[in-house]
Structure 1
Amino acid sequence: MRRTAEFDAFGPWIDEVHTTAELPRLYRDAGIDPAASRLVLKVPRAIERRDANPDMHLYDFLIAVGTSQLTVLRRRDDWYERARLPFAQITAIEDSVSLLDGRLTVHTADGAATLISYNALDPAPITMLTRLLRKLYLPWRAGIPAPPVASPPPDLGGGDMGLVTAYRQVLATEPGMRLISAARRAAVGRGNRVSRLLRPVTLHASILLADDREIQLLHRRDRLVQGRDKPHSIARTVVPRAGIAGFRVRPHDTHPQVDIVTICSADAALDFPTHAGAETDALLALLSTA
């Protein structure tokens, strides 16, 4: 088998690109200049190395953070599609991990949602990317930052310690974030007792945080689920408060214990299922001050 530098370097990890020579072959005519970019990442295909060969295009995404926009190139067989996302148009960022299945979704004011799938074996490059985007889409306010507010970790019960750990990690890096509310998982299904036992419907736990710039929700990738599968995912959705144009709430079509809170930003709408009552009230109160 012939050898190439791209094939020799291929693995499950996301690599930072510093020079044009490090660009994957598929994307070299795209006009991406790593030297003129704040950050360039190449995201490999979700295949085992033993199934790869030097003649394949080995990277599913090339991500470039420029001076005014995020550019995402996504492989489509032997070609690619391009998404241009101006920083000022970003309305939400959701990063979720379920075992090794990582998904970063960037929502924009036109209603589009750009999905980047990645191997969560090494999430550090995606964490670096999201931190950079959050600095660029909403510049930090001048002046003295508000002091952190000490609060005990939320009590979600033994089955959701992963969310509590995620909460602690957020406060460790962003001590200005404050806890707004926390809701435990709850059964919300309708029907007779037998159907509820065999196919229960669960609204999973969540933690709501905020500072004067952003609202953050820590949750499961799928909040409203049917069945008894144990959740493994951890998701974090960040919404810049300055981009919120309005909100609305409606009861869920089939589960009266659940509300759907919709955050509106220009032509974008982001739905959050919430526990009717305290969780809904806390989110609405927060949105009313955005």
Structure 2
Amino acid sequence: MKVSEYDAFGPWAYEIDEDHPLPPLFVPCVEHQESYRMLFKLPRDIERRKATPDMDLYDYVVGADDSGIRVWSRREKAVDTVYLPFREICGVRLYQRLLKGVCTLCGREGTVTLPYNTVSADTFWKLLDLVRRSWPRESACPAGLVRDEGVKEEQVDIWLYNQLRDLRDRGVDFSLDAYQPYHSAYPAGRRLPWTKQEEFAGTLYLHNGRELLLLRSGKPEKKGEQKYSAEFTAIPWASLEGVSLTRSKEYAGTLMAEFRLPENTLVTEVEPSNGGAVRFLETLAENWPAHL
């Protein structure tokens, strides 16, 4: 049964159809709706009780066609537009903590960030599937990767283990290469009694023939957020421009792995004592320049 936009408003991302049409503000901007393989709208982040029928209730409309993704965003009473061709998307990430979700699309000339409520997580997994299916189909995995043979799925902490299970249930192909558990370290040069340690997310390093995958207990926006957060990142091998593993200048006893994309650098943290993860990242860094 069709209901008004105001009556249907809530935290959900609705796919555009007869029951959930385009928001009025976006109607003049979105042409040829039938050409999109996926077209949905994202609501404003306001409480339902504060919404009124005369308000523009949606901040974004997202459309994916055969060649890329277009995002229309509300700016007061105007609409901005950005387009990312699939061939220029060099990485995707979903971050979730409780009801807060953030989708990041890394392009060759910039990054698009879409906030959402995690009640609509399936919509964003569907979007990521479209992006990932557009990447080169042939295997581009570098030779010489040395996985940590000592890593067993059942030894991974339960939060990350559940993410692994969910990833597999979604049909994502991967091999488990290394595991860095949640850990902490002091800021370098500040080992004072009242200095708190910095917390670092747990990380699973995964890959398949087409992608490097990172599964984390969440890169926290605030300290202590790892416990209820999750982060999935996929990078096509064809877009990875280099990998390095160096000692952190900011945190004592911590190694920083950097994954360089055309316009972004992704970072994970590793303990030097974690020999299996260190060796995997070292071989990735050693072999990658020869692969480029």
Distance 1:43 1:284 in 2: 41
Equivalent of 1:125 in 103, 120, 123:
123
Structure 1 equivalent of residue 238 of structure 2: 242
- TM-score with structure 1 setting the length: 0.84
Structure 1 equivalent of residue 267 of structure 2: 271
Distance 1:281 1:210 in 2: 15
Structure 2 equivalent of residue 155 of structure 1: 155
Distance 1:274 1:224 in 2: 19
Equivalent of 2:167 in 149, 167, 170:
170
Distance 1:224 1:118 in 2: 16
Structure 1 equivalent of residue 92 of structure 2: 93
Structure 2 equivalent of residue 61 of structure 1: 60
Please state how far the C-alpha of 1:28 moved relative to its aligned partner: 0.9
Q: Specify the SS of the correspondent of 1:270.
A: strand
Structure 2 equivalent of residue 134 of structure 1: 132
Please state how far the C-alpha of 1:26 moved relative to its aligned partner: 1.3
Deviation readout 1:45-72 (Å, 9 max, x if unpaired): 1112211111111111110001211111
The question of whether the paired residues in 2 share the 8 Å contact of 1:202 and 1:224 is answered with no
The question of whether the paired residues in 2 share the 8 Å contact of 1:19 and 1:35 is answered with no
Residues 192, 268 of structure 1: CA spacing in aligned structure 2 closer, same or farther, 3 A cutoff?
Answer: closer
Deviation readout 1:70-94 (Å, 9 max, x if unpaired): 1111222222221111101111111
Please state how far the C-alpha of 1:18 moved relative to its aligned partner: 3.3
Structure 1 equivalent of residue 142 of structure 2: none
Residues 61, 195 of structure 1: CA spacing in aligned structure 2 closer, same or farther, 3 A cutoff?
Answer: same
Q: Name structure 2 gaps, 5 residues minimum.
A: 140-150
Percent identity reads 22
Distance 2:265 2:226 in 1: 29
- TM-score with structure 2 setting the length: 0.83
The aligned amino acid for 1:200 is Q
Aligned residue pairs, count: 271
The aligned amino acid for 2:231 is A
The question of whether the paired residues in 1 share the 8 Å contact of 2:105 and 2:112 is answered with yes
Which structure is richer in relative contact order (CA contacts within 8 A, separation 6 or more)? 2
Residues 229, 106 of structure 1: CA spacing in aligned structure 2 closer, same or farther, 3 A cutoff?
Answer: closer
Q: Name structure 1 gaps, 5 residues minimum.
A: 143-150
The aligned amino acid for 1:217 is L
Distance 1:18 1:230 in 2: 37
Deviation readout 1:18-64 (Å, 9 max, x if unpaired): 36981111111113432111100111111122111111111111100
Structure 1 equivalent of residue 23 of structure 2: 24
Q: Within the alignment, does 1:39 sit opposite 2:34 as a pair? A: no
Deviation readout 1:133-179 (Å, 9 max, x if unpaired): 1112x14349xxxxxxxx8415244xxx2211001121233363110
Deviation readout 1:190-245 (Å, 9 max, x if unpaired): 5446335xx2222221111111011111113326975x566311111111111112
Deviation readout 1:243-263 (Å, 9 max, x if unpaired): 112233332222132233222
Residues 272, 81 of structure 1: CA spacing in aligned structure 2 closer, same or farther, 3 A cutoff?
Answer: farther
